[in-house]
Amino acid sequence: MSTDLATPAPAPSATGAGTGQHRPYAVRLDRVSKSFGSSPLTRQQVLDDIGLTVAPGEFVCLLGASGCGKSTLLNLVAGLDRPTSGEVRVPHGRPALMFQDHALFPWLSAGRNVELALKLAGVPRAERRERAEELLRLVRLPDAYGKRVHQLSGGMRQRVALARSLAQGSRVLLMDEPFAALDAITRDLLHEELTRVWRERELTVLFVTHNVREAVRLGQRVVLLSSRPGRVAREWEVGIPYPRRIEDSAVTSLAREITGHLHEEIVRHARH
């Protein structure tokens, strides 16, 4: 593969030494491990000695087989759980988190769902409607303020969920397979919208997916986790210019390469 399209990142370091230890960062995990279970007989180690640094404004996709600890890692970064060992650093406040399920309140309109997040973020009541309408315009839903959830398509609901996440005011956005339940055409459109919003708002995005092509289409960097316990197995810097299409030959080629390494991890795990 041409090195101007995909360059393997430096070998992952648990201490972060190979990932810009002294450079500004939006998210950093230093030797992070996570286990569940209170006794040696029941304890399960999900993450092992993770070292990962995400730069301000960077779009990083976290990839791996089901059960490798991707969502657990995201929960640690979000502050919803604490590591068993190691340290998670997010220096500029709690990140916003967006799930696969839109989790909108069905008894509220789209605009009121966004306003609720603004309220929790401390935005004065007099400003909330204007801010909510601004965010809905940002995600290309200018006429959705008064619509209830049942009146929105799946893709529109995820756009509202994105607007609600942005309403939290964080510059770091964590996304846990937010488009997995959508059809291919809707997912493709939302890839374009997310890329646009990320660049316009200069966000830092940590995006969890099991879809290799989605990871290559969206990310500036793709991080592959090994099967349980999850470790950083390999990273790729993606040099494919934006805008990208999921059917682009460069996307397909890199996705094929990464898929090969993902299969190796799955086979390796099955042998143990």
CA distances from 215 to 42, 159, 177, 255 (A): 34, 19, 10, 8
Per residue in 200-215, pLDDT (tens digit) is: 999 999 999 989 999 9
pLDDT, position 10: 40
**Confidence category of residue 93, pLDDT binned at 50, 70, 90:** confident
Give, in words, the CATH class of 6-39+46-95+170-270: alpha beta
Question: Contact at 8 Å (CB) between 165 and 88?
Answer: no
**Confidence category of residue 48, pLDDT binned at 50, 70, 90:** very high
pLDDT, position 16: 40
Environment class of residue 135 by beta-carbon count within 10 Å: exposed (0-12), middle (13-18) or buried (19+)?
Answer: buried
Question: Contact at 8 Å (CB) between 225 and 62?
Answer: yes
Question: Contact at 8 Å (CB) between 100 and 176?
Answer: yes
Lowest model confidence (mean pLDDT) among 23-32, 59-68, 163-172 = 59-68
- How confident is the prediction for the chain on average, in pLDDT? 88
Backbone φ and ψ of 70, nearest 5°: -60, -50
With DSSP H G I counted as helix, E B as strand and the rest as coil, what are the percentages for the chain, rounded to 5? 35, 25, 40
pLDDT, position 39: 72
Per residue in 53-90, pLDDT (tens digit) is: 999 999 999 998 888 889 999 999 999 999 999 999 99
Place of tokens 């966000």: 203
**204-209 and 59-63 as β-strands: parallel, antiparallel, unpaired?**
parallel
For the cut 70, the answer to whether the pLDDT of residue 5 exceeds it is no
pLDDT, position 269: 67
Question: Contact at 8 Å (CB) between 65 and 210?
Answer: yes
pLDDT, position 101: 82
Per residue in 235-259, pLDDT (tens digit) is: 999 999 999 999 999 999 999 999 9
Question: Contact at 8 Å (CB) between 145 and 172?
Answer: no
Q: What is the mean pLDDT of residues 94-105?
A: 89
For the cut 80, the answer to whether the pLDDT of residue 17 exceeds it is no
For the cut 50, the answer to whether the pLDDT of residue 149 exceeds it is yes
**Confidence category of residue 271, pLDDT binned at 50, 70, 90:** low
Closest CA to 254 of 62, 5, 59: 5
Per residue in 30-43, pLDDT (tens digit) is: 999 999 877 777 77
pLDDT, position 174: 97
Closest CA to 177 of 63, 40, 13, 9: 63
Domain boundaries, the chain: 6-39+46-95+170-270
CA distances from 95 to 90, 139, 165, 199 (A): 8, 19, 9, 17
For the cut 80, the answer to whether the pLDDT of residue 51 exceeds it is yes
Q: What is the pTM of this model?
A: 0.88
CA 127 to chain centre: 29
Closest CA to 141 of 114, 118, 121: 114
Per residue in 171-226, pLDDT (tens digit) is: 999 999 999 889 999 999 999 999 999 999 999 999 999 899 999 999 999 999 99
